């Protein structure tokens, strides 16, 4: 294998993917496995995580475990299992998020707490715990899953957008503090992706088409189109990349408005 190809591989690395049971997390876990990593597929739904692990294990190495990033105890137990089984952690990808689509003036305290606890506090919990284990291993790469909503917002997305912007700042903060330990931290910012999170939109043909037409490529992304940028951020190909945000949005954030000028 030549060097050009090998820098994009993660052979011999141990990767934890939270949210590996579906969507972007599942696609990322599979892509990391195809790129040579031993993948720990973690999800609140252990059965779904096991299905992903079995898929990877057909050609590579993978295991499954249960994790709830809303619980520091659950996150800690997951890290202890990884330490006991593998003795190290080199890559961590965090994808779990929820979105309560409501206008801000109708949001309840319970809904606010639910979104913030998973998207912001959950991301913090798993990043902190993964970093501690990575420091023992001599470094690694952490990839958080933000969104185009960290920059742009629409009615019904205010709280979700706030948490996605917070994830960017978490990535930057952790990147600065963890650099001396050899740990890189970056955020991926997907555009519109066909996942369980966006299922309500898929059921509305007009809404689904509007989102497709909003980006430059005029279509939704597949989860796999987020997975390979994640592999890039996990690999040595991105060895000088930390504290940044990689937008994978089909040009959504490059477009100014929805009007096509008559040029």
Q: Which residues are catalytic?
A: 160
| Strands 38-43 and 14-18, bridge-based pairing | parallel
Q: How many CB atoms lie within 10 A of CB 109?
A: 7
- Residue of 145, 140, 165 whose CA lies nearest to 242: 140
Q: How far apart are CA 119 and CA 101, in angstroms?
A: 14
Q: How far apart are CA 92 and CA 141, in angstroms?
A: 6
Helix (H, G, I), strand (E, B) or coil at 260: coil
Locate the DSSP E strands across the chain.
Answer: 14-18, 38-43, 61-66, 91-94, 140-145, 183-190, 245-248
Q: How far apart are CA 166 and CA 145, in angstroms?
A: 11
Q: Which residues contact 26 (CB under 8 A, 6 or more apart)?
A: 19, 20, 48, 52, 223
């Amino acid at each position: 294998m030549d060097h050009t190809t090998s820098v994009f591989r993660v052979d011999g690395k141990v990767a934890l993917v939270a949210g590996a049971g579906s969507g972007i997390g599942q696609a990322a876990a599979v892509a990391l496995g195809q790129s040579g990593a031993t993948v720990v597929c973690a999800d609140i739904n252990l059965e779904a995580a096991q299905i992903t692990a079995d898929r990877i294990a057909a050609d590579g190495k993978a295991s499954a475990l249960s994790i709830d990033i809303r619980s520091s105890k659950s996150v800690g137990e997951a890290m202890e299992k990884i330490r006991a089984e593998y003795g190290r952690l080199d890559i961590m990808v965090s994808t779990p998020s929820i979105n309560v689509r409501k206008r801000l003036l109708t949001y309840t305290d319970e809904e606010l707490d639910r979104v913030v606890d998973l998207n912001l506090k959950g991301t913090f919990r798993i990043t902190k715990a993964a970093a501690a284990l990575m420091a023992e291993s001599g470094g690694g790469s952490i990839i958080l899953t933000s969104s185009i909503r960290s920059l742009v917002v629409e009615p019904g997305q205010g709280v979700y957008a706030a948490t996605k912007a917070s994830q960017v700042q978490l990535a930057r903060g952790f990147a600065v503090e963890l650099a001396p330990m050899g740990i890189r931290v970056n955020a991926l910012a997907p555009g519109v992706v066909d996942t369980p999170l966006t299922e309500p939109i898929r059921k509305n043909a007009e809404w689904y088409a509007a989102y497709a037409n909003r980006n430059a490529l005029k279509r939704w992304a597949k989860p796999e189109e987020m997975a390979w940028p994640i592999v890039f951020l996990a690999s040595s190909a991105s060895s000088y990349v930390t504290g940044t945000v990689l937008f994978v949005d089909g040009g959504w954030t490059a477009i100014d408005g929805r009007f096509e000028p008559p040029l």
